[in-house]
Structure 1
Amino acid sequence: MTAPLVSILDDEPAIRSMLSEALADAGFRTSAFARAAEFEAALKRARPDVCLVDLGLPDRDGLSLVHRLALEQGAVVIIISGRAQVQDRVTGLELGADDYIIKPFDPTEVVARIRARLRAPRRETQRGNTARFAGWTAHFDRYALEDAGGVETPFSHAEGEVLRLFLDAPKRLITRAQMQESLGGAAGESFDRAMDVRISRLRQKLREDPRNPRLIKTIYGAGYIFLGDVEWG
């Protein structure tokens, strides 16, 4: 089995070297880039399993790159940044990042976060990559929702993790604590805000009435319940 590929985008040579060494020691394949242009060119040749992205890039806005990666690549996207404000973390997660690590960091923490994030794809292989519910088909292999007429709407890897969590446990209460345990990331304001945004976006893509959603129901003070019948294929 081929080891997961981790792409590192950071303009600091010491950080690229430190991460490459730690990840190689942990059994990952790596590729490292100092500029967004080089990184994006490499994406055309090989799709990484995980992207580590610094926000302070010399040739590109890191946040816009994170958003595009989340929607188009289907890779786990982890921001590594010196921006430590809560709003920066929230913005990064809202744009589709799966996790946010603040500099300075311990490389063993990065390895642990990556392994935690890759647990979800391992579950996908056990359940399949396609789920049908309420006239919709979720394609987790290409990160798209297909309606009854065949029209597809893309979703990010982060949105897909939340959707899979619901589809794996239909008609059962999922608490915030269970979401945090399953999806990883530090509990707190940034995690709660990111979950709110991802669930809101999933509802929009499922064309739910925000005032009375029929599939993803909020149980105030408790969590969420997915009300549809789900068939995996």
Structure 2
Amino acid sequence: MSALVTILDDEPAIRQMLSDALAEAGFRTMSFGRATEFEAALRRTTPDVCLVDLGLPDRDGLTLVHRLALEQGATVIIISGRAQVQDRVTGLELGADDYIIKPFDPAEVVARIRARLRTRTRSAPSDTARFNGWTAHFDRYALEDETGEETTFSHAEGEVLRLFLESPKRLITRAHMQETLGGAAGESFDRAMDVRISRLRTKLREDPKNPRLIKTIYGAGYIFLGDVSWS
């Protein structure tokens, strides 16, 4: 079955434009003009990708993006007229996977969605990784410690964690992260990665001054030092 893309935007013309482009590209779509309608639909179905406008009439779009990233596990792409770097950084920090500025070409949106879905498909075969007393459950976005206590992580944080766990004890450069995870290179991408890595370290109970697992190699990138097994 084709991937389901939900569109949340209060402008009917944009919803129709995106629905037409996505349908032509082979995607299933559901469109909503208000956050309350969108959230009600989420109780009945689970989309693969959520396109979310920040300028909603009944809800703060950034708050909704943060909740989607933590609870739904779907890929979240912001579509917004807010072009400032800080808005893009904030959206990515809150868990969005990508940020597209209005006005946009529908073909670009389709291409970004396909790129994100390819990333998820590549990471689908193994859902569980064990390392240094931790178990990462990518099927339910949770980190489990040796006592069985679980801490959730967002889809965006999970992409970074999987990248580390699939290449332990190897240098991962910022350029490789950008190429693998997608998104436009630049200040907003770098800051979003810094935030996601900081949150992963906190969830792994790392000493921020001397992390044992995710090491920063200044001027080069990162190295994950754990011993990893997949199942």
* Range class of TM-score, shorter chain: over 0.9
Deviation string for 1:163-193 (max 9, x for gaps)? 0000110000000000000000000000000
Q: Which letter maps to 2:173?
A: T
Correspondence 1:109-128 to 2 at 5 A: 109-126=108-125, 128=126
Partners of 1:130 and 1:124 in 2: how far apart?
11
How far 1:125 moved relative to its partner?
Answer: 2.3
Distance in 2 separating the partners of 1:74 and 1:45: 15
Instruction: Give the AA of the match of 1:167.
Output: L
1:106 equivalent in alignment to 2:105: yes
Unaligned runs of 5+ in 1: none
Question: Size of the alignment, in residue pairs?
Answer: 231
2-structure distance, mates of 1:118, 1:202: 23
* Match of residue 172 from structure 2: 174
C-alpha deviation, 1:29, in angstroms: 0.7
Letter matched to residue 29 of structure 1: R
1:147 and 2:148 aligned: no
State the shift of 1:58 in Å: 0.4
SS across alignment from 1:153: strand
Partner of 1:42: 41
SS in 1 for 2:123: helix
Matches within 5 A, 1:22-37: 22-37=21-36
The equivalent position to 1:131 in structure 2, one of 123, 129, 132, is 129
**Residue type of the alignment partner of 1:161:** E
Q: TM-score, normalised by structure 2?
A: 0.99
1 CA distance for matches of 2:122 and 2:112? 17
The residue that corresponds to 2:8 in the other structure is 9
Identity of paired residues, percent?
A: 84
Displacement of 1:120 after TM fit? 2.1
Q: Quote the Cα distance in structure 2 between the aligned partners of 1:124 and 1:161.
A: 9
Q: TM-score, normalised by structure 1?
A: 0.98
Structure 1 stretches of 4+ with a deviation exceeding 4 A read: none
> Hey, what's the Cα distance between the residues in 2 that align with 1:133 and 1:84?
40
Aligned-partner residue type, residue 133 of structure 1: F
SS at match of 2:114: helix
Matched, 1:64 2:53: no
Per-residue CA deviations over 1:133-169 (Å, capped at 9, x if unaligned) read: 0100101111011111111101000000000000110
Tell me what 1:52 maps to: 51
Please give the secondary structure, in 1, of the residue aligned with 2:69.
helix
Structure 1 letter corresponding to 2:100: I
Structure 2 residue runs without a partner (length 5+): none
Q: Deviations over 1:63-121 (max 9, x none)?
A: 00000000000000000000000000000000000000000000000011011111222
Inter-partner Cα distance in structure 1 for 2:152 and 2:118: 22
Describe the SS at the equivalent of 1:182: helix
SS at match of 1:132: strand
Partner of 2:89: 90
**One-letter code of the match for 1:138?**
A
- Name the SS for the 1:116 alignment partner: helix
Q: In 1, distance between residues paired with 2:169 and 2:156?
A: 22
Q: Secondary structure at the match of 1:118?
A: helix
Q: CA deviation at 1:123?
A: 1.5
